[in-house]
């Protein structure tokens, strides 16, 4: 069985929490010590072996388009950019791109994470888990390993390898911005605009949403504070 992956990088948001930096620059093109968030994400999924990369955009689309065009001239990467006239949210954005995916298996990542080499082992462990169970798998991170995330409540709970929703008093675990799933999953959802939370809750109800907790640190760059932390700690 072939396990080629397409990677989709979610880059269509407005980046409002990064204002005023994002007034004229889309968040994926924010620079962290010499590399943009978008280039960092592209480099990361290439190291994971993805043979096709899809990026969606909306806000300052033309700037993201120029950045990718320049990269493709130099690196010859197989990157396809999709413009969303209207933002379709996370789940809807991926569903909209399905016709161009070359592979059934998808790695979907957020463009506001600054990925590092040590994160590769965790991502590869997630891929290996997916190969065994063929169920949607989410990368998770404990609060103590999550830099730039200051929430007082978690996203999920992990029991063995099955995910359920966080309840007050549970250990604080966050979604780490990377997941693996099969594109056929989207056939079960008729909406055009929807959040991945709809998909996750659907599989949680069936006890079929799996997860892996990172052993490495995660750097979330969702606001100015997160950007400052990343610039200080990332080398």
In whole angstroms, give the CA distance from residue 109 to residue 51: 15
Q: What is the DSSP letter of 235?
A: -
What's domain 5-233's architecture? Alpha-Beta Complex (3.90)
pLDDT of residue 21 exceeding 90 = no
Of the ranges 69-83, 153-167, 213-227, which one carries the lowest mean pLDDT score? 69-83
Domain boundaries, the chain: 5-233
pLDDT over 90, % of the chain:
79
Q: Indicate the angle between helix axes 119-133 and 37-47, nearest 10 degrees.
A: 50
Is the pLDDT at 138 greater than 60? The verdict is: yes
pLDDT band for 176, please (50, 70, 90 cuts). very high
Question: CB-based contacts of 140: which residues, under 8 Å, 6+ apart?
Answer: 155, 156, 158, 163, 173, 174, 175, 176, 211, 212, 213, 214
Tokens of 152: 């007082």
Q: Residues 99-134, buried b or exposed e (16+ Cβ, 10 A)?
A: eebebebbbbbbbbbbbbeebeebbebbbebbeeeb
Q: What is the pLDDT of residue 2?
A: 59
Nearest to 220 by CA among 21, 12, 30, 26: 30
- Mean pLDDT value across residues 157-164: 94
Q: What is the pLDDT of residue 181?
A: 97
pLDDT digits (tens, 9 = 90+) for 62-79: 999 999 999 888 888 889
The per-residue pLDDT of the chain, averaged, comes to: 93
Q: What is the pLDDT of residues 80-124, one digit of tens each?
A: 999 999 999 999 999 999 999 999 999 999 999 999 999 999 999
């Amino acid at each position: 069985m072939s396990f080629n992956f397409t990677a989709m990088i979610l880059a269509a948001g407005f980046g409002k929490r990064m204002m005023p930096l994002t007034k004229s620059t889309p968040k994926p093109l924010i620079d962290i010590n010499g590399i943009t968030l978008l280039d960092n994400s592209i480099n990361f999924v290439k190291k994971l072996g993805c043979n096709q990369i899809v990026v969606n955009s909306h806000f300052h689309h033309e700037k993201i388009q120029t950045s990718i065009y320049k990269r493709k001239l130099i690196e010859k990467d197989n990157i396809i950019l999709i413009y969303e006239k209207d933002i379709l949210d996370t789940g809807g954005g991926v569903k909209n791109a399905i016709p161009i995916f070359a592979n059934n298996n998808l790695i979907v990542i957020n463009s506001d994470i600054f990925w590092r080499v040590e994160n590769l082992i965790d991502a590869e462990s997630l891929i290996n888990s997916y190969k065994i169970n063929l169920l949607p798998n989410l990368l998770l991170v404990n609060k103590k390993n999550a830099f730039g995330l200051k929430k007082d409540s978690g996203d999920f709970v992990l029991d063995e390898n099955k995910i359920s929703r966080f309840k007050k008093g549970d250990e604080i675990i966050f979604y780490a911005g990377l997941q693996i799933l099969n594109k056929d999953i989207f056939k079960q959802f008729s909406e055009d605009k929807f959040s991945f939370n709809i998909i996750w809750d659907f599989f949680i109800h069936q006890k079929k949403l799996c997860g892996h907790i990172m052993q490495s640190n995660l750097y979330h760059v969702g606001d100015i504070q997160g950007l400052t932390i990343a610039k200080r700690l990332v080398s």
